[in-house]
């Protein structure tokens, strides 16, 4: 993939391992639980297990069917993660003597409804990088400050593309009729990988455009990008790194509706204030499409998918997102760089790490 980075520093050589000590994820629920109702909500901590593995074990212990156990999102297998799951309170007695070396029930509370997929605000991360020298520690500090000020490109992480990174190719083969996948979940997973791949390619192109506008004068940028001079001149006036274009599909942030940008003058202050953000297309179906300059780029980047649109459920995804409550410290004696930050649902902490070290994991 043609991955582009927005931070300007040189690559950083560090050691990152997704283990229970160096990678910790805590789910942030969408709303407070009521304390009453028919559903038992468990605050669960797991280590080196997938959410599926954990849910399956809870099912075996309680007798609750897997489909009746609710969760907001899938958490990484590697590392230490906490999340909330729900099941009917009639199964609570079966958990009285619950014990598992990799699963711990931290707390219980009742609630009126089953937890549904997507019902989370986001996740809070702790990440430790090792073998970090003082020079690279300064790059990491400045990079996190830049992300705090401006946000970050909301790429799909490597987890989306499988061990080989080629799941998107399987999705494309399914769409072309060259491959059949009888397992419905895997069929949808491969198609999603293809959508994610195209999204990442488009986002890399937009970062590349922003970089050219940042680093070159107007005439040089016109020559490189083949954009009209008046368009480049307007982009040059934008102070933030990621440049918005006329016709971009914007979205209220963190929730609301998508709409086409008809006035950059009106929308730029809202983007800088984080009231809105830009979205990219997850190809398929009948979705709102970019127009004008932004539409020309979108049409070119997604051209290969046009024959297959009716075979996929499309949507829009935040292309630029924002990390909150960023904290970091450098422990020079141990050569450790530690950071905490919170991300909205759907964003990958590994993308932040890749941006900081200027390399893919």
User: How confident is the model over 223-231, as a mean pLDDT?
Assistant: 96
Burial 280-298 (b: 16+ CB within 10 A, else e): bbbbbeebbbbbebbbebb
Contact 56, 89 (CB under 8 A): no
pTM: 0.92
User: Model confidence over 295-320: pLDDT tens digits?
Assistant: 999 999 999 999 999 999 999 999 99
Contact 221, 231 (CB under 8 A): no
Give the residue from 42, 67, 43, 61 showing the smallest Cα distance to 100: 61
User: Model confidence over 235-276: pLDDT tens digits?
Assistant: 999 999 999 999 999 999 999 999 999 999 999 999 999 999
153-321 has the same fold as 31-118: no
Q: How many CB atoms lie within 10 A of CB 336?
A: 18
Kindly report the CA angle at 119 between 347 and 250, in degrees rounded to 5?
50
Query: What pLDDT score does 124 carry?
Result: 98
User: How confident is the model over 328-339, as a mean pLDDT?
Assistant: 98
* 8-state DSSP, 11: P
Distance CA 103, CA 206 (A): 42
Provide the strand spans (E) within 116-215. 120-130, 152-153
Would you say residue 39 has pLDDT above 70?
yes
User: Model confidence over 52-89: pLDDT tens digits?
Assistant: 999 999 999 999 999 999 999 989 899 999 999 999 99
Query: What pLDDT score does 233 carry?
Result: 96
Q: Which CATH number fits domain 31-118: 1.10.132.20, 3.40.50.1370, 3.20.190.10, 3.30.2350.20?
A: 3.30.2350.20
Q: Which residues pair with 70 in a beta bridge?
A: 86
Per CATH, the homologous superfamily of domain 153-321 is: TruD, insertion domain (3.30.2340.10)
From 48, 53, 68, 76, active-site residue: 76
Give the residue from 323, 329, 318, 356 showing the smallest Cα distance to 342: 323
Would you say residue 1 has pLDDT above 80?
no
Would you say residue 131 has pLDDT above 90?
yes
Give the residue from 265, 204, 206 showing the smallest Cα distance to 238: 265
Contact 209, 186 (CB under 8 A): no
**Mean pLDDT taken over the chain:** 96
User: How confident is the model over 122-138, as a mean pLDDT?
Assistant: 98
Q: How many CB atoms lie within 10 A of CB 334?
A: 12
The two structure tokens encoding residue 212? 């050219």
Query: What pLDDT score does 2 carry?
Result: 82
Q: DSSP secondary structure string, 13-45?
A: --B---STTTEEEEEEESS---S-SSEEEEEEE
Would you say residue 324 has pLDDT above 80?
yes
Would you say residue 113 has pLDDT above 90?
yes
The residue with tokens 């009521």 is 34
Query: Is 76 among the residues known to form the active site?
Result: yes
Query: What pLDDT score does 355 carry?
Result: 97
Query: What pLDDT score does 172 carry?
Result: 97
Domain ranges of the chain: 1-23+127-151+327-361, 31-118, 153-321
User: Model confidence over 158-199: pLDDT tens digits?
Assistant: 888 988 889 999 999 999 999 999 999 899 999 999 999 999
């Amino acid at each position: 993939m043609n991955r582009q980075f927005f931070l300007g520093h040189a690559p950083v050589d560090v050691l990152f391992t997704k283990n229970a000590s160096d990678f910790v994820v805590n789910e942030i629920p969408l709303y407070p639980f009521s304390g009453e109702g028919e559903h038992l909500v468990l605050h669960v901590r797991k280590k080196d297990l997938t959410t599926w593995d954990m849910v399956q074990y809870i099912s075996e212990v309680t007798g609750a069917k897997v489909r009746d156990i609710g969760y907001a999102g899938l958490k990484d297998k590697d590392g230490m993660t906490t999340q909330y799951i729900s099941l009917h309170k009639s199964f609570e007695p079966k958990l009285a003597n619950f014990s598992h070396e990799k699963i711990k029930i931290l707390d219980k509370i009742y609630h009126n409804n089953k937890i549904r997929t997507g019902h989370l605000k986001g996740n809070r991360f702790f990440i430790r990088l090792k073998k970090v020298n003082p020079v690279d520690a300064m790059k990491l500090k400045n990079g996190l400050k830049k992300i705090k000020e401006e946000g970050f490109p909301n790429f799909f992480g490597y987890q989306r593309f499988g061990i080989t990174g080629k799941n998107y190719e399987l999705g494309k083969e399914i769409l072309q009729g060259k491959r059949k996948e009888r397992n419905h979940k895997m069929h949808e997973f491969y198609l999603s990988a293809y959508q994610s791949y195209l999204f990442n390619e488009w986002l890399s192109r937009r970062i590349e455009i922003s970089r050219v506008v940042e680093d070159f004068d107007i005439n040089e940028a016109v020559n490189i990008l083949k954009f009209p001079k008046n368009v480049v001149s307007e982009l040059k006036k934008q102070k933030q790194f990621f440049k918005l274009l006329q016709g971009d599909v914007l979205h209220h942030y963190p929730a609301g509706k998508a709409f086409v940008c008809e006035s950059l003058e009106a929308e730029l202050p809202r983007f800088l204030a984080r009231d809105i953000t830009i979205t990219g297309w997850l190809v398929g179906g009948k979705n709102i499409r970019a127009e004008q300059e932004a539409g020309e780029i979108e049409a070119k980047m997604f051209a290969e998918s046009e024959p297959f649109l009716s075979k996929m459920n499309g949507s829009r995804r935040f292309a630029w997102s924002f990390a909150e409550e960023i904290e970091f410290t450098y422990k020079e004696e141990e050569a450790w760089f530690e950071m905490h930050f919170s991300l909205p649902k759907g964003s990958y902490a590994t993308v932040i790490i890749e941006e900081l070290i200027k390399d893919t994991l």
